[in-house]
Amino acid sequence: MFRIVIFVASIILILGINMHVSAEITEDMIVAAWLFDGDAKDVTGNGFDGVQKGGKYVDGQIGQAIELNGTSEWIEITERMGSFEEITFSHWVKCTGRDGGWRVFFNVNGWKAGDIHYQLHTNNKVEFSIHSNPGGNDTFANFAVTGGELNKWIHIATAYSATEKKMRFYINGELDNELDWGGNPGVLDPGRIGDWNNSRQWQGMIDEFIILNTVASEGDIKSLMNDGYETSLAVDPKEKIAVTWGSLKK
């Protein structure tokens, strides 16, 4: 019995060490997180709660998701989030229509120097734009949401670094495209999830929409994709071990 207890404790310690290495997402890295589990609140407590303009809640990839009709529904973000040298967007989407049309993930209202527009272009590719950025306003993933990619859940993550002058797009946790681009910070003034200027509306579902103030690693992106925001936040492994050891003793 003693040997079994020692063996189990060793396994827990190893898992704890591995957890410490791999769990890199901390609360101070998260700008905003809208999980859409029955509301449009920013669960970080940073104050970027969304104002829901229509839409309904349906089963998502992790809990619930919001479904928008592609014509007159969106989430309004009324507060400025800031200017970012580095930024990552991570979210699940299921597009159910408007193939070949603009379809917004998040666009700042208006379009001035520094503004971020993040959407599907009319070429159906994932597009990330910063107005007046060196090398041109726009960058594109290779991945296009069209044809067989409609009506199914897709995880998209988009990471930009002004300091590295790099742009990276991830699809379902895998690197899709990496580009040399930019150099200016991106601005997140008030904007909308799923709409721009009463146009370019998203048709379909959006779930676990998260913005980070850093370039997330591929491992962090996969964690957000597979486990969701709340599970992916780094926790002190000693606390995990204590809880698990207490459960074992019981």
Alpha-carbon dihedral 18, 44, 62, 175, rounded to 10 degrees: -60
Q: At the topology level of CATH, where does 26-232 sit? A: Jelly Rolls (2.60.120)
- DSSP E strands in 70-161: the ranges are 74-77, 82-84, 86-95, 103-108, 116-120, 125-130, 138-144, 154-161
43 by Cβ neighbours in 10 Å (0-12 / 13-18 / 19+) ranks as: middle
Cα 44 from chain centre: 13
Q: What is the DSSP letter of 196?
A: B
Residue 98 has pLDDT above 90, yes or no: yes
Q: What is the DSSP letter of 29?
A: G
pLDDT tens by residue, 197-218: 999 999 999 999 999 999 999 9
CB 142 within 8 A of CB 125: yes
Q: Which amino acid is at 98?
A: R
Residue 247 has pLDDT above 60, yes or no: no
Tokens 């990330």 belong to residue: 128
pLDDT tens by residue, 110-142: 999 999 999 999 999 999 999 999 999 999 999
Closest Cα to residue 137, out of 160, 155, 163?
160
Domain extents for the chain? 1-23+235-250, 26-232
Q: What is the pLDDT of residue 13?
A: 41
184 φ, ψ (degrees, to nearest 5) = -95, 150
Q: What is the pLDDT of residue 3?
A: 55
Q: What is the pLDDT of residue 152?
A: 98
Of 187-191, 225-229, 240-244, where does mean pLDDT reach its minimum? 240-244
- Give the C-alpha separation, 234 to 101, whole Å: 38
- Sheet of 138-144, strands arranged across: 50-53, 74-77, 191-193, 103-108, 116-120, 125-130, 138-144
Q: Confidence class of residue 235 from pLDDT cuts 50, 70 and 90?
A: low
Q: Which amino acid is at 172?
A: N
- Give the C-alpha separation, 31 to 16, whole Å: 27
pLDDT tens by residue, 146-204: 999 999 999 999 999 999 999 999 999 999 999 999 999 999 999 999 999 999 999 99
The pLDDT > 70 percentage for the chain reads 84
Distances (CA, A) of 188 to 80, 84, 115, 157, 214: 6, 8, 6, 17, 14
pLDDT tens by residue, 20-47: 334 489 999 999 999 999 999 999 999 9
Whole-prediction pTM: 0.86
